[in-house]
Structure 1
Amino acid sequence: MSTTMSVTKDCLAVTTAFESSEDNNASREVIQKDVKKRWQSYIWDTFDKSPEERHFMFKLDFALLTMASLAGYFIKNLHQTNINNAFVSGMKEDLNLYENEFNYMQTCWTIGYVIGEIPSNLVLTRVRPSVWIPCCELIWTVLTFSLARCTTAKQIYAVRFFIGLAESGFYPGMQYIIGRWYRKDELAKRSCLFHVSSALAAMFSGYLMTGMIQLDGIHGLAGWQWLFLIDGAIGLPICIAGYFVLPDVPEICKAFYFSAEVNFLKSKY
């Protein structure tokens, strides 16, 4: 097989000769328009899309990335790391804990996380993501509330295990959903935003604990107890919003905000 290529100012012409038993001179010419990107598209790729697709992508980015990054993954990591700040901000002294018990708390979370990942994703193939993932968020939010009432290390071990179990399906589940919605040339920026939110959560948890110290003693609760309550209060409305905002995978998506793009949705996916 031989191939010749010629490039003009406005288009790219590719001529390919195919060998065959009947006609060795058969050839096919493929004309592709030269794609010229605007500089804005290197920052965000929707600028070079058609108005219809740009409008669709704006809705998808706003709904999916908000629920996955700024809401879901941020809250997950906030609830995951709050035990670190609580332990050094009065919980250790109030509950007479020692440092190895803190390590056990982290280990219990990890055990629950490892055990739950595969089963959670198997459930995700049978249950709509817009139902299953918000349910997981709701479970770990309720468990975060309950940490404020724990009085022994063993109680914290149990709660942390189930928090890890509930959180285990979020990261792989969201990566699965994001991967189903975006093409490979669209995926990198969205995945980057998704992962940035985890670092923001760890940073925000420390600032939040600084504020919670000011609440120490109010209504008979210590500052570290207020940290768990505020974390849960932040996560609860996000869990509820997930039932209505989080899109399913394209094949079964029935999100209300895509009602005007049904035909485009079918053609794209």
Structure 2
Amino acid sequence: MKFGKIKKTICILLAGTMVLGTSLTAFASEQTPADGTETYTNVSEMAKFTFKGYNNGTLPTPTTTLGLLEYTLKTFVMGDEYNGPIGIVKAVLNQNGKEKNVYIVALSGTELIWSDYTGLQSTGAVTDLLCGFNLDNPYIKAVVKAMKQNIPAGSDVVFYGHSLGGMIAQEAAADKTIKRMYNVTNTVTFGSPLIKLLSRREGLVRRMCDTSDIVPVLSVYSLTPLAVIQYWGSERFSEDGGYNSKWLAAHNESYLRQDVWGGYDVLGIKGGNATMTFDMGAAAYYEAPGISWLHLKK
């Protein structure tokens, strides 16, 4: 067996361990041309931006079990073509006729993927379990590090996240370091369970949940007396995309559809008027490694 394959095997076995590196690598988006500033008016457009964290934005997310297998086989070997699940960009939020500068932090979800820069990413099943039980994990550590290195202290921040990324976004809104350094104004999630209810999350939280998507109830709260809040809490907003029992299709497709979610503004408020203006091509992406690949690469 070649040494490179041995290194990958070691990293798979160690997935979910702590981030040990001293810095995170930023990658400019290569898939979205820097074609100028645009204004985004609804939450499905923000979901599309969030989904760009997957596989460098080059492959559509799978909607069937077979498609999921094929997708995983393609993404895992992307190597140096992978950007990272943490997208950060400066934007102008306009709400009720008032403008202010904010930083968008968009987080993609579960994906078994390998980076030639930092190894196996902490976006796999281990992190799903850790988040579902409100436990510490390397993904949230990578988010904190990326924000500290790239967002000025005192800035207003809006989090977006799909699936696992939405759970991490809720963890970030409750993180002591983030709350101390920034003003978290809003957190919008797509197909994500309730996380950190009792941890004093900062800002307004909105969870977009397709009625056929089962993922939004897959956290510890579905097993406790707080299940009512998990299923029907005031943060949860449901729309029917017509997927019936096709939960994976609902989970990975519904939130991108304006015909389903176009009635919600960019902050997840139904009938709201908030818009975001930014250059999608100016976003930088950061990885969320499970271990320090630098030590194995030497």
Pair in the same fold by TM > 0.5: no
Q: Which has the higher contact order (CA 8 A, sep 6+)?
A: 2
Task: Name the one with the larger strand percent.
Answer: 2
Task: Name the one with the larger helix percent.
Answer: 1
TM-score by length of 1: 0.27
TM-score by length of 2: 0.26
